[in-house]
Amino acid sequence: MLYPNILFLVLDSLRPDKIYGKKNAKIPNLENLLKKGTYFSQAISAADATLLSWASIYTGKFPFKTGIRSARYNKLDENTKTIFDVLKNYNYSFYGFLPTLSETIGLFPKFSNNNNLYDFTERLHTGLDKKILNLINSSSMIEPWFLNIHLMDLHFPLVVPPKFDSAKFGSSKYERILSHIDTWLGEILKILDLKNLILIVTADHGTSIKKISVDGTVLDFEDKGKNEMMKKKFTKNAPKFLKPMKDKIFFSLEAKNQSRKLKLLEKYNLKPHEKRALLSGQFSIDHDLFDEKMRVPLLFVGKNIENNNAYSKQVRTVDIVPTIYKLLEISGDSKLDGKSLLPFNDDKNSEDLVAYMESNPMIDKKSNDVIGIRTSHFKYFRDKDSSLRQVHLYDLINDPYEDKNIAPSNPELVNEMENKLKKIISNKKISVTENELDSDEIERELKKLGYI
C-alpha cells in the first residue's frame, strides 16, 4: 500500500482569529484551503511556547510525560515514541525545515535534506522560501514522504518584507507578514497534488497583538523588528563573560520600558485583555494561560478529508498525531493522551475534549509558572506547585476575552476544575535521565529565540 504524502506546516505564533472570521490580512490561499478541508476554530495548545508544545504535538502526549521538562530542559525520554518513530515503520521518508533548536532535543528524526536547519533570524523573505520551494520542486523526495516545516516569521521579532509593508496587506506588522506567508503558500500549492497529500496547518502557540485602536487612537507597541533582529545577531556571539552585564542591562531597559507603557496607558479606558496584550513581553515572571497564547488554528486538507467543514468544538493539538494515524489507517502508540478527531462529527454529537495546558518556565529568572485546563465553557489555571496560589477561573461563554476572574466567587466550580486537573496530572512522574550538557545546549538555543 502506498500511503499519502504528508505536509505538516507549523506557523509559529499563528492566531486562529487571523485566518477565520473577520480578518484584515490578505490570505486568499488560506481561505481556499479552508473551503477544501476541515477546520477546527477551537484548537488548544498544550503549552504557551514552542518547546513544550512541540513535545506534545509530535508525541500525542501531554508535555510532562515526554521527559523534555523536569528540573531543567532535557532531551526527549528515550522510551517516548514520536510520530516519526511510527511512520518509519511504514517506510516514510522525512524532510524538514526547522530552527536550530530542534536539533538539540532528540524529538525529530534525521531529515534527508541537509539544509533542514536554519538560524533563528532567518525568514521566508531572506531565502528560506526558495530553499523549501526548491526541495518540493526537485522531485527528489522519496514517497511516501513527511515534510515538516516550522516557520518563525510570525514570532518575535516581527520583520515585514518590504513588498508587503502596506496597509492593503493588513493594519499590523503581524497581519502583513501573514499576507506574505499566504503568498508563499500559494506557490507551494501550485506544485503539490492534494489528491495524494494530507496537509496539516497549525501553530505551536498563539501570541498577543500589541497594536489596537481605542477611542479613535491607535496604540502601537509592536516591536521594531529590524532593530531587534540586529541586536539578536550581535548578542548571540557576545563573549560568555559579558552575559551577566548584558542580562542586567536587558532587564533594566525592559523595566523602564514597561513603566513608560503603564504611564501612557493610564490615559485610556482599556479592558483587561486589551491592556495585557499591549503590555505583553518576554520579561514578566508572572505567567498565564490566556487564550491569545493558547488557541491555535487546526486545518486538515487532502486525501480522505471532507471539504468545507468548520467545527467550533474544542480539540487539542495533542489530538493531531492520533488523527493522522486514523487517516492513514495505521497503528500507533496505544498510550496516547490525544484522541483521533475522526470521524469529523457535528458539534452536537461529538465529545468535548478537556485541554491540559502549562506555561514554559523562564531560563535566566525563576518564573511563576502555571498549569491548568480548558473546557468549552470554563478556563482554569493556577500555580504549578500549589492549588492555592495564582488561582484563575473564567467563564468563556459570557466572558470570551477572559476579563473577569470568577474564582473567588465560585469555590465549588474551582474545586470541580481542580479535580479534573489532578486526574490528568496524577501520573505526572516519569523517569528522566538529566544531562547538564544537554540542558545547557537546549537553553542556549532557547535564549536565542527570546526565551530568557
- Look up the domain containing 80 and give its range: 5-209+289-349
Same domain, 315 and 391: no
DSSP state, residue 18: G
Domain membership of residue 282 (yes or no) is no
Confidence (pLDDT) at 279: 85
Q: Rounded to an integer, what distance in angstroms lies between the CA atom of residue 450 and that of residue 157?
A: 9
Confidence (pLDDT) at 348: 53
User: What CA–CA distances, in Å, run from 130 to 13, 98, 191?
Assistant: 22, 15, 13
Contact 210, 20 (CB under 8 A): no
Q: Which triple of cell numbers denotes residue 148?
A: 515538516
Q: Which triple of cell numbers denotes residue 265?
A: 496607558
Nearest to 451 by CA among 211, 120, 175: 120
Say whether 40 sits in a helix, a strand or coil: strand
User: In this predicted model, what pLDDT tens digit does every residue of 89-146 receive, in sequence order?
Assistant: 999 999 999 999 889 899 999 999 999 999 988 999 999 999 999 999 998 999 999 9
- Helix (H) / strand (E) containing 294: helix 291-294
Domain membership of residue 359 (yes or no) is yes
Same domain, 391 and 319: no
pLDDT band at 413 (very low <50, low <70, confident <90, very high): very high
**Parallel/antiparallel/unpaired status of strands 93-99 and 117-118:** parallel
CA angle (203, 205, 211) in 5-degree steps: 105
Query: Is the backbone peptide bond immediately before 157 cis, with ω within 30 degrees of 0?
Result: yes
Domain membership of residue 441 (yes or no) is no
Q: Rounded to an integer, what distance in angstroms lies between the CA atom of residue 427 and that of residue 424?
A: 7
Contact 92, 112 (CB under 8 A): no
Q: Rounded to an integer, what distance in angstroms lies between the CA atom of residue 355 and that of residue 187?
A: 35
Same domain, 57 and 107: yes
Nearest to 299 by CA among 289, 290, 288, 311: 311
Domain count, the chain: 2
Confidence (pLDDT) at 351: 66
368: domain CATH number is 3.30.1120.10
Domain boundary among 322, 349, 376: 349
Q: Rounded to an integer, what distance in angstroms lies between the CA atom of residue 38 and that of residue 45?
A: 18
Same domain, 151 and 41: yes
Residues β-bridged to residue 301 = 37, 199
Sequence-distant (6+) residues with CB within 8 A of 11 are 151, 153, 154, 181, 201, 202, 203
pLDDT band at 162 (very low <50, low <70, confident <90, very high): very high
Same domain, 308 and 362: no
86: domain CATH number is 3.40.720.10
Alpha helices in 66-140 (DSSP H): 83-88, 128-137
Domain boundary among 349, 374, 389: 349
Same domain, 192 and 312: yes
User: In this predicted model, what pLDDT tens digit does every residue of 192-211 receive, in sequence order?
Assistant: 989 999 999 999 999 999 88
Same domain, 150 and 193: yes
Q: Which triple of cell numbers denotes residue 200?
A: 496539516
At residue 92, what is the residue type? Y
Q: Dihedral through CA 419, CA 420, CA 421, CA 423, nearest 10?
A: 90
Domain membership of residue 276 (yes or no) is no
Same domain, 395 and 414: yes
When comparing pLDDT for 196 and 447, which is higher? 196
Confidence (pLDDT) at 11: 98
- Helix (H) / strand (E) containing 147: strand 145-151
Contact 275, 265 (CB under 8 A): yes
Same domain, 304 and 374: no
Same domain, 386 and 406: yes
pLDDT of 224 higher than 90: no
Please give the sequence-ordered ranges of beta strands (E in DSSP) within 183-262, or none if there are none. 197-202, 211-214, 217-220
Say whether 145 sits in a helix, a strand or coil: strand
Nearest to 277 by CA among 10, 15, 11: 15
Same domain, 158 and 95: yes
Confidence (pLDDT) at 261: 81
Q: Residue for cell digits 501550485? A: 190
Contact 221, 210 (CB under 8 A): yes
- How does the average pLDDT of the chain come out, rounded? 88
When comparing pLDDT for 75 and 236, which is higher? 75
Domain membership of residue 65 (yes or no) is yes
Domain membership of residue 240 (yes or no) is no
Domain membership of residue 260 (yes or no) is no
Domain membership of residue 274 (yes or no) is no
User: What CA–CA distances, in Å, run from 446 to 152, 443, 449, 450?
Assistant: 13, 5, 5, 7
pLDDT of 291 higher than 80: yes
Same domain, 43 and 174: yes
